Amino acid sequence: MADKLAQMIYFYELSVAKLNKLLNFFLVNLHKLLVFIYTLLQKTLRVTLNGKAYCLFALCLTLWGCSTTLDITSIGWKTYSNSRYGFEFPYPSNWNSLTAPTNDDGIAFVSPRNSNVEIRGWASNQLSPSMTEDSETSASYNFQTTQGLRGLLLVETGNTMSSMKLKLNQNQIDYHWQGKSPSQEFSNYYPLFYYIAQQYRVGRR
């Protein structure tokens, strides 16, 4: 009797493991499909529909990013702070920083496992006064940070590299952040990139 029970438990655990593997495979490929649809519609429908379809599919990806599981507590974090423009964002503590530009407008970090996986943040003074935050319409925004800052979040996919880009404007300064990786690995890094974009902050200057 005990042997049969042990055998049943073994087959049950094996079935659960296989089910979890199939579920993870399904979720990864579903996310890739959403990224592909988003990119396609971003290129073809944004102008003809005055940004409405664009914002809708950006919202779909935003919701996906919120629902994708990522154990943030398992990652050691540091915070990069820029003294010139007053922005900051977290990055994995084991990532390596690239040489900072002499004008101190930002920084880039690369993964220790793959130097093609990169996060980068920078800022610049706004050149055109006509594009101030007050003049932008609500259709220009599809993302909000945990600090409450509204911005534009774009996902761009390519044959070799894919990226997530965040653009914010505060006090006539353009703030930029992006995460990029090889396209085949982008679905793995998407939750990480999305989390960092959410935590992006701009201080008082």
Instruction: Give the pLDDT score at 17.
Output: 63
Q: pTM for the whole thing?
A: 0.65
CA 1 to CA 139: how far, in whole Å? Answer: 66
Q: What is the pLDDT of residue 76?
A: 94
pLDDT at 149: 95
Q: What is the pLDDT of residue 63?
A: 47
User: Can you tell me the distance from the alpha carbon of 169 to that of 133, in angstroms, rounded to the nearest whole number?
Assistant: 6
Contact indicator for 119, 196 with CB cutoff of 8 Å: yes
pLDDT of residue 20: 59
Digitized pLDDT (tens) for each residue of the chain, 205 residues in all: 666 666 666 666 666 566 656 655 665 566 556 655 655 555 444 434 344 444 444 445 544 544 444 567 788 999 999 999 999 999 999 999 999 888 889 999 999 999 999 999 999 998 765 444 444 444 578 999 999 999 999 999 999 999 999 999 998 999 999 999 999 999 999 999 999 999 999 987 5
Calculate the alpha carbon distances from 82 to 87, 98, 123, 201 in Å.
Answer: 5, 15, 9, 11
Question: What pLDDT, on a 0 to 100 scale, did the predictor assign at position 59?
Answer: 47
Pairing of strands 150-157, 161-170: antiparallel
